[in-house]
Homo-oligomer: A and B are copies of this chain.
Amino acid sequence: MSNYTKTTIGTDARVELHETLKLTGAEISVNQLPAGSGVPFVHSHKNNEEIYGILAGEGKAVIDGEEIPVAAGDWMRVAPAAKRQFFAASDSDMTYICIQVRENSLEGFTAGDAVMY
Contacts and interface: CB of A to CB of B under 8 A. Distances in A.
Nearest to A111: B43
10 contacts: A4-B82, A6-B74, A8-B73, A9-B73, A16-B110, A27-B106, A27-B110, A28-B51, A44-B117, A53-B97
Given A3-B82, A103-B24, A113 B47 contact: yes
**Residue among A17, A21, A41, A114 with the most chain B CB within 10 A?**
A114
B108 A7 contact: no
Q: Oligomeric state, in number of copies?
A: 2
A43 to B, nearest CB: 5
A78 B18 contact: no
The size class of the interface chain A forms with chain B is 35 or more
Contacts of A113: 45-48, 100
Interface in A20-66: 21-28, 30, 41-49, 51, 53, 55, 61, 63-64
A102 B100 contact: no
**Residue among A3, A17, A23, A83 with the most chain B CB within 10 A?**
A3
